[in-house]
């Protein structure tokens, strides 16, 4: 199940039942778990930590050094969870001294040409479309969907269950459960279809919608609008997540 045309450094650790195709390159200081498939011409570089059941299509490059001039060779990692799919030419850089690691969680689909930069944290069950590029220290929460050719500025956060339209440039944080598109990027309402597909009931969707009406359309200081949400909208983990997301935002939110 390992092609004789693949190169595997003798110090690399490879789990059971892995398929490694021709012209793959696996560096030293690499750990790969069980049941992974590396099609031809996949490159796994120093510092990669890969879980189980992942698929890497031709041209994927995992754990290349960061494209960051502050990087001076520090010991960092690129950590991949389980059951992810990395389509053709996906690149995932390892971390820098800022966080020490780049992380891709479980069950994600990264389509052709996606770039995950240094110190990014990608959650679980996200879909990231063709040629989308994430700058350094971006966080993508669980089950977010980024369409093709999305550009995300460094330090931004993408909320859970959101949908970002194709070709959108995100220079601020994307609210959870929302749809964002246009140029410049704007809030376009709730990701209603996505939420219902994920089992959100009508009352909860309505409460999230009412919260965003207050936050997006309301007037006054942001802290006062958030207090209105706390007093006017029934408590739930989803509303608490929205409030914490906004209060901890470093770049501001897309409205």
Indicate which residue of 68, 119, 120, 173 is catalytic: 119
User: Is-cis flag, bond preceding 184, omega within 30?
Assistant: yes
Q: How far apart are CA 177 and CA 99, in angstroms?
A: 27
Q: What are the residues whose beta carbons fall under 8 Å from the beta carbon of 199, sequence distance 6 or more?
A: none
Say which of 27, 53, 81, 118 is annotated catalytic.
Answer: 118
Phi, psi of 155 (to 5 degrees): 75, 0
Alpha helices in the chain (DSSP H): 192-197, 202-212, 222-232, 237-247
118 as an active site residue: the answer is yes
CA distance 141 to 152: 14
**Which among 53, 81, 95, 136 is annotated as catalytic?**
136
Q: Dump the DSSP string for 76-108.
A: -EEEE-SS-EE-TT-EEE---TTTSEEEE-SS-
Tell which residue, 103, 49, 51, 94, has the closest CA to residue 76.
94
Among candidate residues 190, 196, 156, 193, the one with its CA nearest the CA of residue 176: 190
3-class SS shares of the chain: helix, strand, coil, % to 5? 15, 30, 55
136 assigned to active site: yes
Residues 6 or more apart from 151 whose CB is under 8 A from it? Answer: 132, 133, 168, 169, 170
Q: Which residues are catalytic?
A: 118-119, 136
């Amino acid at each position: 199940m390992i092609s004789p045309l693949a190169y595997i450094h003798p110090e690399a650790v490879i789990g059971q039942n892995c398929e490694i195709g021709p012209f793959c390159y696996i560096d030293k200081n690499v750990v790969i778990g069980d049941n992974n498939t590396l099609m031809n011409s996949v490159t796994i570089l120093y510092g990669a930590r890969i879980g189980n059941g992942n698929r890497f299509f031709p041209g994927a490059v995992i754990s290349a050094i960061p494209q960051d001039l502050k990087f001076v060779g520090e010991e960092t990692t690129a950590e991949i969870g389980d059951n992810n799919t990395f389509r053709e030419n996906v690149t995932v850089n390892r971390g820098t001294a800022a966080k020490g690691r780049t992380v891709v969680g479980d069950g994600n689909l990264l389509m052709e040409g996606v770039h995950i930069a240094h110190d990014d944290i990608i959650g679980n069950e996200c879909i990231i479309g063709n040629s989308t590029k994430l700058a350094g220290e971006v966080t993508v929460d669980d089950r977010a969907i980024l369409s093709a050719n999305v550009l995300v500025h460094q330090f931004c956060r993408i909320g859970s269950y959101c949908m970002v339209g194709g070709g959108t440039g995100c220079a601020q944080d994307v609210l959870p459960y929302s749809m964002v598109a246009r140029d410049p990027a704007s809030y376009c309402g709730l990701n209603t279809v996505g939420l219902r597909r994920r089992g959100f009931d009508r009352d909860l969707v309505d409460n999230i919608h009412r919260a965003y009406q207050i936050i997006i359309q309301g007037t006054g200081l942001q802290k006062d609008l958030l207090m209105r949400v706390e007093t006017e909208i029934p408590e739930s983990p989803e509303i608490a997540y929205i409030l914490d997301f906004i209060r901890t935002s470093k770049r501001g939110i897309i409205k």
